[in-house]
Chains A and B, each alone.
Chain A
Amino acid sequence: GAVVSQHPSRVICKSGTSVKIECRSLDFQATTMFWYRQFPKKSLMLMATSNEGSKATYEQGVEKDKFLINHASLTLSTLTVTSAHPEDSSFYICSAPSFNEQFFGPGTRLTVL
């Protein structure tokens, strides 16, 4: 089946710094990828839809200047958390569709100190 990877799997950073998370479709191309945020004991919240070659579409309430998304190629989307603060600590998950199914990455645990 299709495989989606994320890097890094875990990152700890200081408040005020920026962190980049990569999402790659390893064996298929994805013109669209999705970024989710998962809170403890909460569901996945869709943050944005990443579109190859064009701007990302952000969900209501998600700050586009804080969560920068770049879909640089048909296999790579990046999420950059700018000027991170402790409240940005969370589990970030990406997904990409292939043949009518969504494939999820393993997630990235971000901890902001």
Chain B
Amino acid sequence: GNSVTQMEGPVTLSEEAFLTINCTYTATGYPSLFWYVQYPGEGLQLLLKATKADDKGSNKGFEATYRKETTSFHLEKGSVQVSDSAVYFCALSDQSGYSTLTFGKGTMLLVSP
């Protein structure tokens, strides 16, 4: 079956530091890959997505590239802000959007001033 593995947190960074959150997946076929963000007290929001190999998703300074050869979808940001503090979830679906999502366990990011 499908599974998503992401690095354990919390990840603690100073403002303007470089961020990487690793995510690898196991799936049959060609899944779509997603990063969701959950701010304190709020629901999940889609941060970015990629639907095929070598696609790069990007949003709000965050990027992730769909690497089929390494089955990875690592999240990166060049300079984090305090407001980026949240829990980040890597996820996959067999189809784009309408099928169920398989989530990683989430990585908490804490950014200090």
Contacts and interface: CB of A to CB of B under 8 A. Distances in A.
Interface of A: 4, 6, 32, 34, 41-44, 46, 49, 93, 95, 97, 99-102, 104-107
Interface residues of B, number: 20
A93 B43 contact: yes
Give the dominant DSSP class at A's interface.
Answer: strand
Contact of B101 (A4, A6, A41, A102): A102
B2 to A, nearest CB: 11
Nearest to B34: A102
A99 B96 CA distance: 9
B100 interface: yes
A43 B104 contact: yes
B97 A102 contact: yes
